[in-house]
Amino acid sequence: MKEVFPAIKLAVSEKSWLGEIGKEFMEMVSSYYKDAIHFYQKGEYLESFECLVYAWGWLDAGARVGIFEIPKNVRRHFKIDQ
């Protein structure tokens, strides 16, 4: 996740309707990722994992519908080309 999260960018105009949705998707990814780190640092590993799964779900959904641009160096983590 450390490699993937910083590489993700919006693939649509931020000013468009889909761009607004993309920003909300990214906000959800960021929030769950931060929560995962918080829980991990507290030793609450199950909660941390749950947050990572939610964050990944938002990332994967955004990638599949074309909201996120997925760079080649991290595409192997997604099923969008298969």
The pTM of this model reads: 0.81
pLDDT for 77 equals: 74
**Which residues make Cβ contacts (< 8 Å) with residue 13, sequence separation at least 6?**
19
Domain 5-77, what fold?
Substrate Binding Domain Of Dnak; Chain:A; Domain 2 (1.20.1270)
Q: Span 14-32, mean pLDDT?
A: 91
Mean predicted lDDT score pLDDT of the chain: 87
Please give the share of the chain, as a percent, with pLDDT higher than 70: 94
More confident residue, 37 or 74: 37
Assess contact for 70 and 78: CB atoms under 8 A: yes
In this predicted model, what pLDDT tens digit does every residue of 50-81 receive, in sequence order? 999 999 899 888 988 889 888 887 777 776 65
